[in-house]
Amino acid sequence: KFDWINLRSSTLEDVLFEDCTIEELDLSNVTAARVAFRRCRVGSLHLAHARLQDVDLRALEIGAIGNLEGLAGATLDTQQVTLLAPAFASHLGIRVEG
């Protein structure tokens, strides 16, 4: 269990995070390729200016995400996308009613 991991401006290649809890994970300005999370939880994920390629977040429980555009290049599952739908709508300036 980690309170805070700062990987800002790092290069990550072929990395697996497994069975971990991270309260705050800063991946701002990161360049990541072939990264996966298995049975992990992150309370707050920061992705400002992140460059992701083949980053698998499907087994990552995410509390909050900063800088949604940083998700480009990541793989999410349907449940994650459903949970993030309000944040995506807000980010894109979409008003959801009803």
Global pTM reads: 0.90
Distance from C-alpha of 5 to C-alpha of 90, rounded to nearest angstrom: 27
Gyration radius of the chain's alpha carbons: 13
The predicted pLDDT at position 57 comes to: 98
Cα–Cα distance for residue pair 42/6, rounded to 1 Å:
13
CA distance 63 to 44: 6
What is the share, in percent, of the chain residues with pLDDT greater than 70?
Answer: 100
- Summarised one tens digit per residue, pLDDT across range 4-42 is 999 999 999 999 999 999 999 999 999 999 999 999 999
Q: How do the domains of the chain map onto residue ranges?
A: 2-92
Burial tier of 70 (Cβ tally within 10 Å: 0-12, 13-18, 19+): buried
The predicted model gives 72-94 an average pLDDT of 95
